[in-house]
Amino acid sequence: MVNITLPNITIPQISPDVLNDTLRILNKTRQGPVTVPNAPAIPPWLENALLTIYLALLALSILLIAHYIYYARHSSRQPPDLRADPADAPLSIIIPVKNESPETVAQAVKRLAALNCPDAEIIVVSDDPPDAFEEIRKAVESLAVPNAKALRRPQPVGYKGVALNWAAEQARGEILLFLDVDSVPPPDLCHRARAVGGREILFLGWDGYAPVKTPIATLQLFLYKYLLFHVAIVGRHNTGHPIFALGSGIAVRKKFLQEMGGFCNCTADDYDISMKAYLHGGRVVYSPGVPVYVEVPGGYAAFKKQYARWTYNSAYLLAAYGLKIFKLRMPLPHRISVFLNVATHPLMIMTTFAIMLSGLAMGYMGILLPPLHILILQLALGIAALAQVYYVYKLARGDGHSFVAVAGKLAKSAALLLVLSPYLALYVVLGALRRRIRWHITPKGLASVLSGRAGPYEIGLAAALGALFAYSLTTANPVFITNTAILLAAALYVLTKITSPPPRSDATQSGTG
Burial (Cβ within 10 Å: 0-12, 13-18, ≥19) of residue 96? buried
What per-residue confidence (pLDDT) applies to 39?
Answer: 79
The DSSP element (H or E) to which 206 belongs, if any, is: strand 206-209
CB atoms within 10 A of CB 10: 6
Length of the chain: 513
CB 218 within 8 A of CB 211: no
User: Could you tell me where the DSSP H helices lie in 114-159?
Assistant: 130-142
Could you give the C-alpha distances from 466 to 40, 168, 353, 469, 470, in angstroms and in order?
A: 21, 53, 18, 5, 6
How far is Cα 78 from Cα 512, in angstroms, rounded to an integer? Answer: 34
Say whether 99 sits in a helix, a strand or coil. coil
Nearest to 363 by CA among 53, 22, 36, 30: 36
Q: Tell me how far apart the alpha carbons of residues 188 and 250 are, in angstroms, rounded to a whole number.
A: 14
* Phi/psi of residue 283, nearest 5 degrees: -155, 165
Alpha carbons 36 and 479: distance in angstroms, whole number: 8
DSSP 211-268: SS--HHHHHHHHHIIIIIIIIIIIIHHHHT------SSSEEEEHHHHHHHT-S-SSS-
Which residue ranges of the chain lie beneath pLDDT 50? Answer: 1-12, 14, 505-513
Contact 161, 263 (CB under 8 A): yes
Residue 282, classed as helix, strand or coil, is coil
Residues 403, 87: contact at Cβ < 8 Å? no
**CB-based contacts of 99: which residues, under 8 Å, 6+ apart?**
128, 441
Beta strands in 290-440 (DSSP E): 292-295, 367-369
- 365 contacts: CB under 8 Å, gap ≥ 6: 33, 35, 39, 40, 42, 47, 50
Question: What CA–CA distance (Å, rounded) separates 235 from 243?
Answer: 10
Helix (H) or strand (E) holding 281: none
Q: In this structure, are strands 250-253 and 200-203 parallel, antiparallel, or unpaired?
A: antiparallel
In contact, 306 and 297? CB cutoff 8 Å: yes
pLDDT value of residue 510: 44
CA distance linking residue 308 with residue 346, whole number of Å? 10
* Residue 121 identity: E
Q: Cβ(35)–Cβ(366) under 8 Å?
A: yes
pLDDT tens digit string along 10-65?
444 545 665 665 667 667 777 778 888 877 888 888 888 888 888 998 999 999 99
Asked if residue 172 lies in contact with residue 273, where contact means CB atoms within 8 angstroms, the answer is no
Pairing of strands 91-97, 175-178: parallel
Q: What is the pLDDT of residue 369?
A: 85
State the distance between the two ends of the chain, measured CA to CA, in whole angstroms. Answer: 63
Q: What is the pLDDT of residues 452-502, one digit of tens each?
A: 566 889 889 999 999 999 999 999 899 999 999 999 999 999 888 877 665
State the DSSP string of 65-80.
HHHHHHHHTT-SSPPP
Distances 370 to 24, 26, 327, 350, 353 between C-alpha atoms, Å: 14, 10, 39, 21, 19
Spatial separation of the C-alpha atoms in residues 298 and 449, rounded to whole Å: 5
Say how many CA atoms lie within 13 Å of 66 toward its Cβ. Answer: 9
Angle, helices 300-325 vs 215-223, to 10°: value is: 30
The per-residue pLDDT for 263 is: 96
Exposure on the CB side of residue 358, measured as CA atoms within 13 A: 21
Q: What pLDDT, on the 0 to 100 scale, is given for residue 242?
A: 94
**CA distance linking residue 352 with residue 65, whole number of Å:** 13
What's the number of CA atoms in the CB half-sphere (13 Å) around residue 231?
26
